[in-house]
Amino acid sequence: MGDWEAASLSFEDVRVPDRNLLGEPGGGMELALNWIGQKRYVIPSRAAERLPGMAVEYAKIRKSMGHPIADYQAIQWQIADSQVEIESTKWLTLYAAWRSQQGLDARHATSIAKLHGAVMANEVMDRVLQIHGGLGYAKELPIERWYRNVRVWRIFEGTDEIQRRTIARNLLKGHATLGSIGE
Ligand SMILES: Cc1cc2nc3c(=O)[nH]c(=O)nc-3n(C[C@H](O)[C@H](O)[C@H](O)COP(=O)(O)OP(=O)(O)OC[C@H]3O[C@@H](n4cnc5c(N)ncnc54)[C@H](O)[C@@H]3O)c2cc1C
């Protein structure tokens, strides 16, 4: 669906010098899971502020029924909602990154940022395409490609469902409290 190509790697008789060993022998999976968990906020941090900017510019120049479509409340609300969602993702992402940088447990904050950012990016992308009408769907602009590429954000580095599971488990087991995303 997106611009992704799967690669198949195989290793045979590979010897890795001790100095290049990451972690302890036999601890690779734990290391990988720890890395994935800590860096999930990278996904929403990609949510480009450029997207609503494109919608704003197009809404000002595209005319329908004698007026720029920016004059219509239906368009204005889509632009406003997109800005709100991008700002909220930005702060959730910065908070998760700050916790990680401070050496604090960032897993709960990261799951929240990743879930919100991935869902939000897809909603914003859909609105940007919608505001561009048929042109948004056509290949002349990069929007349809971004639309396809952004979809995978809800799947890799932990699906939406797995993030929700993590968040709920943290709350149910008392690892996090409602109203706090990181204590
Ligand atoms: C383009 C692309 C790039 C990728 N890159 C990488 C990469 O670099 N490294 C890497 O390790 N992986 C990568 N992946 C794999 C990706 O992480 C997995 O596709 C993802 O974790 C989902 O696993 P799955 O496809 O096996 O789906 P499944 O685990 O089969 O899940 C199917 C559905 O069931 C849901 N589900 C599964 N378990 C539960 C549960 N316990 N509770 C509720 N719902 C559940 C899922 O959320 C999903 O909706 C990539 C995938 C894609 C598409």
Is residue 150 within 8 A of residue 123, CB to CB? The reply is no
Residue 90 burial (C-beta neighbours within 10 Å; 0-12, 13-18, 19+):
middle
Ligand 1, pocket-test mutation among 5, 161, 166, 167, most atoms within 8 A of CB:
161
- Mean predicted confidence (pLDDT) in 119-133: 95
Q: What are the CA-CA distances from residue 24 to residues 5, 19, 31, 70 (Å)?
A: 32, 12, 9, 58
pLDDT at 30 (0 to 100): 82
pLDDT at 44 (0 to 100): 66
Q: Which residue has the higher pLDDT, 21 or 36?
A: 21
pLDDT at 47 > cutoff 70: no
Q: What are the CA-CA distances from residue 170 to residues 3, 77, 105, 175 (Å)?
A: 35, 35, 12, 5
- Is 14 domain-assigned? no
Instruction: Tell me if 156 CB under 6 Å of ligand 1.
Output: yes
Q: Which protein residue's CA is at the shortest distance from atom 40 of ligand 1?
A: 162
In the reported structure, the alpha carbon of residue 159 is separated from the centroid of ligand 1 by a whole-number distance in angstroms of 6
Short-list 93, 151, 164, CA closest to 122: 151
* CATH number of the domain residue 99 falls in: 1.20.140.10
- Mean predicted confidence (pLDDT) in 33-59: 75
- Is 35 domain-assigned? no
Report the nearest atom of ligand 1 relative to the CA of 161. 47
pLDDT at 182 (0 to 100): 61
Instruction: Tell me if 33 CB under 6 Å of ligand 1.
Output: no
- Mean predicted confidence (pLDDT) in 121-134: 96
In the reported structure, the alpha carbon of residue 162 is separated from the centroid of ligand 1 by a whole-number distance in angstroms of 9
Ligand 1, pocket-test mutation among 115, 148, 149, 156, most atoms within 8 A of CB:
156
The least confident of 42-46, 60-64, 118-122, 147-151 is: 42-46
First CA to last CA across the chain, in angstroms? 39
Domain extent at residue 96: 40-172
pLDDT band, very low/low/confident/very high, at 2 (cuts 50, 70, 90): confident
pLDDT > 90: what percent of the chain?
60
Instruction: Tell me if 165 CB under 6 Å of ligand 1.
Output: yes
DSSP string for 27-96: -HHHHHHHHHHHTTTHHHHT--THHHHHHHHHHHH-EETTEEGGGSHHHHHHHHHHHHHHHHHHHHHHHH
> Within 13 Å and on the Cβ side, how many CA atoms surround 46?
15
- Is 150 domain-assigned? yes
Total number of domains in the chain: 1
